[in-house]
Chains A and B, each alone.
Chain A
Amino acid sequence: MSIVTVQLGQCGNQIGHEVFQSLCSDIHGTHGLCSREENQSYQDACKERFFWEEEGSGVPVARAVLVDMEPKVISQTLSMAARSGCWKYNHQSHFCQKQGSGNNWANGYSVHGPRHKESIMDLVQKEAERCDRLGGFVTTMSMAGGTGSGLGAFVTQCLRDAFPASFILNHVIWPYGTGEVIVQNYNSVLTLSHLYRSADALLVHQNDVIHKICAQLMNIRHISFRDVNQVIAHQLGSVFQPAHSAQGGPGYSRNPLGDLMETLVPHPEFKMLGLRNIPQIAESSLPYSTFSWPGLIKHLRQMLIANAQMEEGIDWQVRPPPAGSSSHSTKRPLHFNTSIANLVILRGKDVHSVDLGSFQDPSLYTSWLNPRDAWSAWRTPRAFNKYEKSASLVSNSQFLLRPLDSLVGKAWNMFASKAYIHQYTKFGIEEEDFLDSFTTLEQVISSYTTL
């Protein structure tokens, strides 16, 4: 099954490019520490999922639609991919304007959206038709700006209308807390509330977290957006590269998005997914490091429980509540991160021997689901991106509760003073629309709080 990616805005296009680059370099990498057949199977599955083959040259072409309201980024993205030599974008598969969205969500959503709906959906339709079997859509965008956020929200709605039975996952970038864009909190509130209504799930990456990973784990001195995007691409790759799902028969999962949604989104009120991937180290250190599965699993589990963002600085004091205690949140120990559902993905050497019992501990979860149903594992012996062993956790839990609460708080604070509102009403987003969005998100916050 194939996944069509829609890259929106500067961030979406810059990240999208790094993702395809990472996928390609992974499959062309070394044997992957597994058998030839396994490796071949992996490559074929990845190619079917994300690329189609150009007639004649056989060069993989990304199943992607690139959208931006100004031309510079797309132009760069297309040429960088073409220069890579091992993959490219379809140069017809992009839509561009000249003006930009001015960091204005209303401009992206109410003006650019309707104006360019037909052209954009036309491109999406073409990519969808090119797939033998359409497995769904992944959009990648930032919440802070105007295009990715506003136009992205509009396009997501259009996708939902045009493809009611398909899975839609929004990959959303949470901006740095200390500002990239002054109105980022407004744009974020509007984006999240709208995406919540149309998408199946939101997979979130926070710039602050990735930045820390670059600084402390990868030892990068002058961190650029490229560095941040490459870490994000690696993490996404670790989720979306082929793997064997628990239920599936032999062969790689044919419905990755479906499997993901089935495991992680049992209830439409809870769609916020966080992602953790370990180990994460500087490439130069890789050959000199060894990791053990028990160690990795132990760290990953504690990262989940203590809501740690990376494998350093984990608070080992946090423990799940004792067995048999009430599931009411007030009795839960402080700082304990309650999960609804978790998905663990293991790649590399000896994966089948790994004991994941610790993730099935009922005390990690809310009481609604049978603990057996609240988690799932995917595995593949094929190593990912030069890491001999790699473990990822996609989690529907309280991971994002505090950032969300903080974001809504700041946006509300600004809204109370009415600052910048005239910039939105100018394009048709009124105060009531803001209030609707605030209400939606306060509801989400409340739901996650009382887990």
Chain B
Amino acid sequence: AVSLPFAVGQCGNQVGCRFWDLALREHAAVNKKGIYDEALSSFFRNVDTRSGGDGPGIYKGKICSLKARALLIDMEEGVVNEILQGPLRDVFDSKQLITDVSGSGNNWAVGHKLYGYQYRENIVEKLRKTAEHCDCLQCFFIIHSMGGGTGSGLGTFVLNLLEDEFPEVYRFVTSVYPSGEDDVITSPYNSVLAMKELNEHADCVLPVENESLFDIVNKINQMINSGKLGSTVKQNSLVTSSAGSVKTHQEKPFDAMNNIVANLLLNLTSSARFEGSLNMDLNEISMNLVPFPRLHYLVSSLTPLYTLADVNVPSRRLDQMFSDAFSRDHQLIQADPKHSLYLACALLVRGNVQVSDLRRNIERLKPSLHFISWNQEGWKTGLCSVPPVGHSHSLLALANNTCVKPTFIELKERFMKLYKKKAHLHHYLQIDGMEQSCFSEAVSSLSDLIEEYNELDATKGGPRTDPSRLKIAV
């Protein structure tokens, strides 16, 4: 089953670029015979460039030329051009790109209403073409940031479009949320306007915060530079590293952070691509982690962040990996799940880990976590045999937890601070199709979402009375 990523905007495309690079690295490590197999086909087409590379592609047999199944969208050329001139240029063809020159000026309305309207047909056409080449389309991924104009505005426009054109295909969104100190002043507007779209049209959202990525990068650097005995790390095992990627390139400033997000996506889709004793597909993730339609924001954490290279140092105990997954150091957003309420939790394990290891750790960790009353054993588990490059095993934890509430409350506060003073509003309202009601509806949607989390939080720690069962006449 095929997953189709859309990278929208500058951030989205930078992450996307890292994603494709690391995906190639992962498949190269596993695919020794150079045969185009099911695993590869979920992200790549196999194309015979001699025949123009336009057809649906070759389905079996040797790898000729791999083309990524993707759409790259940006209203500014800089990032996409760099990709096309860089080592990944052969992985994309021009029919997968939609670009413009002037950018969206950090204005959601420009991205969503202006460019959305302008490029709608173009996007639909390219989308259909790309989808045609897919044997069985299971899932769309949108990778974007919330704080800007293109990723945020056009990205959510694409989200809407996907729902209209392909209603049965799942829509997963990886959204980079702005921090409080974000240098884009209007990022709260952009984010809240985008949130409404995510609330209504996404199946699953994986929020990511730059601060968390930054902390992870620092933690790794500290560890490497500490000079502690046995701290030589396998370079290609770093969750932040591009080392060993198929296409070597010059490291850029955000690469380390973007690699983390790329690894998130690789791990998320690993069980759908590779075999294992308990497969976990993307549609299963959506099914198990979303108990109510709008509560689909998942906290993700990745472990391990690195593997030590020194074989004399005993490899980190398996159990430590599970503990780390529930430590805030490994989360991709700043939140506190341990002190909030779990609605559901998924553990996707890769590598040589067995069901008994999984169960033992769930038993061990359960008591310190608060699960909602109707989902006390709410764990979804997956075992994929193939570990990520450089590791013998890894774990991705996805939690639907009310701890996202403070993030949203804070976002709303930053929004209101600007909105009360009507700051910068005119930049938005001058765009065709944009009205004051867009703003009030957006903040209302966010408030409703926060309220839904509040209601669930209210049940925490309360007396547990199970509903009475049906009575049968004997």
A interface residue numbers (CB < 8 A to B): 10, 14, 70-73, 75-76, 97-104, 146, 176-183, 211, 214-215, 220-226, 228, 408-410, 412-414, 416-420, 422-423, 435, 438-439, 442-443, 445-446, 450
Interface size counted on chain B using CB atoms at 8 A: 47
Among B289, B290, B378, B472, find the residue whose CB has the most chain A CB atoms closer than 10 A. Answer: B472
Task: Give the chain B neighbours of A101 by CB distance below 8 A.
Answer: 283
- Closest CB in chain A relative to B409 CB, distance in Å: 23
The answer on a CB contact under 8 Å between A73 and B377 is no
Distance of A73 Cα from B383 Cα, bound (Å): 13
Distance of A408 Cα from B292 Cα, bound (Å): 21
Distance of A112 Cα from B378 Cα, bound (Å): 26
Distance of A99 Cα from B466 Cα, bound (Å): 36
The answer on a CB contact under 8 Å between B275 and A76 is yes
Distance of A181 Cα from B284 Cα, bound (Å): 9
The answer on a CB contact under 8 Å between B363 and A100 is no
Closest B residue to A68 by CB, please name it. Answer: B279
The answer on a CB contact under 8 Å between A100 and B1 is yes
How many A-B residue contacts, CB cutoff 8 Å?
Answer: 143
The answer on a CB contact under 8 Å between A408 and B288 is no
The answer on a CB contact under 8 Å between B375 and A178 is no
Task: Give the chain A neighbours of B38 by CB distance below 8 A.
Answer: 71-72, 75
The answer on a CB contact under 8 Å between B380 and A181 is yes
Task: Give the chain A neighbours of B281 by CB distance below 8 A.
Answer: 70, 100, 102
**Given A10-B279, A225-B278, A99-B374 contact (CB < 8 Å):** no
The answer on a CB contact under 8 Å between A103 and B377 is no
The answer on a CB contact under 8 Å between A102 and B469 is no
The answer on a CB contact under 8 Å between B357 and A70 is no
The answer on a CB contact under 8 Å between B355 and A178 is no
The answer on a CB contact under 8 Å between A178 and B377 is yes
Distance of A73 Cα from B217 Cα, bound (Å): 38
* B355-375 to A contact mask, C-beta < 8 Å, 1/0: 111010011001000000111
Task: Give the chain B neighbours of A98 by CB distance below 8 A.
Answer: 1, 135-136, 138
The answer on a CB contact under 8 Å between B472 and A443 is yes
Distance of A226 Cα from B383 Cα, bound (Å): 12
Distance of A215 Cα from B362 Cα, bound (Å): 17
The answer on a CB contact under 8 Å between B356 and A211 is yes
Say if the beta carbon of B293 comes within 8 Å of chain A.
Answer: yes
Say if the beta carbon of B119 comes within 8 Å of chain A.
Answer: no
Q: A99-B136, A182-B288, A182-B289 are in contact. List 4 more A-B contacts (CB 8 A).
A: A98-B136, A409-B469, A410-B377, A442-B471
Task: Give the chain A neighbours of B466 by CB distance below 8 A.
Answer: 409, 412-413
The answer on a CB contact under 8 Å between B355 and A181 is no
Distance of A354 Cα from B277 Cα, bound (Å): 41
Task: Give the chain B neighbours of A75 by CB distance below 8 A.
Answer: 38
The answer on a CB contact under 8 Å between B287 and A102 is yes
Closest B residue to A412 by CB, please name it. Answer: B469
- Closest CB in chain B relative to A194 CB, distance in Å: 18
**Given A10-B279, A419-B374, A408-B469 contact (CB < 8 Å):** yes
The answer on a CB contact under 8 Å between B374 and A179 is no
The answer on a CB contact under 8 Å between A178 and B363 is yes
B283, B286, B354: the one contacting A223 at CB < 8 Å is B354
Closest A residue to B37 by CB, please name it. Answer: A75
Say if the beta carbon of B381 comes within 8 Å of chain A.
Answer: yes
Say if the beta carbon of B344 comes within 8 Å of chain A.
Answer: yes
Closest B residue to A215 by CB, please name it. Answer: B356
Say if the beta carbon of B291 comes within 8 Å of chain A.
Answer: yes
Distance of A252 Cα from B362 Cα, bound (Å): 47
**Given A178-B362, A182-B375, A412-B467, A99-B283 contact (CB < 8 Å):** yes
The answer on a CB contact under 8 Å between B375 and A419 is yes
Task: Give the chain B neighbours of A420 by CB distance below 8 A.
Answer: 287, 290-291
* B132-170 to A contact mask, C-beta < 8 Å, 1/0: 000110100000000000000000000000000000000
The answer on a CB contact under 8 Å between B377 and A179 is yes
14 pairs from A and B in contact (CB 8 Å cutoff): A71-B38, A103-B283, A103-B287, A178-B362, A178-B363, A182-B344, A211-B355, A224-B354, A409-B466, A412-B467, A416-B467, A419-B292, A442-B471, A446-B474
User: 9 tightest A-B contacts by CB?
Assistant: A102-B283, A98-B136, A179-B379, A223-B356, A419-B291, A416-B467, A224-B354, A225-B277, A182-B288
Distance of A450 Cα from B467 Cα, bound (Å): 23
Say if the beta carbon of B470 comes within 8 Å of chain A.
Answer: yes
- Closest CB in chain A relative to B449 CB, distance in Å: 16
- Closest CB in chain B relative to A434 CB, distance in Å: 11
Closest B residue to A423 by CB, please name it. Answer: B287
* B285-301 to A contact mask, C-beta < 8 Å, 1/0: 01111111100000000
- Closest CB in chain A relative to B399 CB, distance in Å: 12
Distance of A438 Cα from B470 Cα, bound (Å): 8
Distance of A446 Cα from B95 Cα, bound (Å): 64
Task: Give the chain B neighbours of A450 by CB distance below 8 A.
Answer: 474
- Closest CB in chain A relative to B398 CB, distance in Å: 11
Closest A residue to B467 by CB, please name it. Answer: A416
The answer on a CB contact under 8 Å between B275 and A100 is no
The answer on a CB contact under 8 Å between A181 and B288 is yes
Task: Give the chain B neighbours of A412 by CB distance below 8 A.
Answer: 466-467, 469-470
The answer on a CB contact under 8 Å between A222 and B356 is yes
Name the interface residues of B267-284: CB closer than 8 Å to any CB of A: 275, 277-279, 281, 283-284
Closest B residue to A408 by CB, please name it. Answer: B469
**Given A102-B286, A182-B380, A408-B469, A14-B374 contact (CB < 8 Å):** no
- Closest CB in chain A relative to B108 CB, distance in Å: 29
Distance of A416 Cα from B468 Cα, bound (Å): 9
Task: Give the chain B neighbours of A104 by CB distance below 8 A.
Answer: 283, 287
Task: Give the chain B neighbours of A176 by CB distance below 8 A.
Answer: 359
Task: Give the chain B neighbours of A180 by CB distance below 8 A.
Answer: 278, 379-381
Closest A residue to B400 by CB, please name it. Answer: A182
B289, B354, B470: the one contacting A222 at CB < 8 Å is B354
- Closest CB in chain A relative to B16 CB, distance in Å: 24
* B424-467 to A contact mask, C-beta < 8 Å, 1/0: 00000000000000000000000000000000000000000011
The answer on a CB contact under 8 Å between B373 and A413 is yes
Task: Give the chain A neighbours of B383 by CB distance below 8 A.
Answer: 225
Among A10, A104, A183, find the residue whose CB has the most chain B CB atoms closer than 10 A. Answer: A183
Distance of A43 Cα from B456 Cα, bound (Å): 61
Task: Give the chain B neighbours of A417 by CB distance below 8 A.
Answer: 373-374
Task: Give the chain B neighbours of A435 by CB distance below 8 A.
Answer: 470
The answer on a CB contact under 8 Å between A103 and B288 is yes
The answer on a CB contact under 8 Å between A413 and B289 is no
Task: Give the chain B neighbours of A214 by CB distance below 8 A.
Answer: 356
**Given A71-B38, A419-B292, A100-B283 contact (CB < 8 Å):** yes
- Closest CB in chain B relative to A451 CB, distance in Å: 12
Distance of A70 Cα from B355 Cα, bound (Å): 21
Distance of A9 Cα from B182 Cα, bound (Å): 48
The answer on a CB contact under 8 Å between B374 and A413 is yes
Task: Give the chain B neighbours of A100 by CB distance below 8 A.
Answer: 1, 138, 279, 281, 283-284
Distance of A412 Cα from B292 Cα, bound (Å): 17
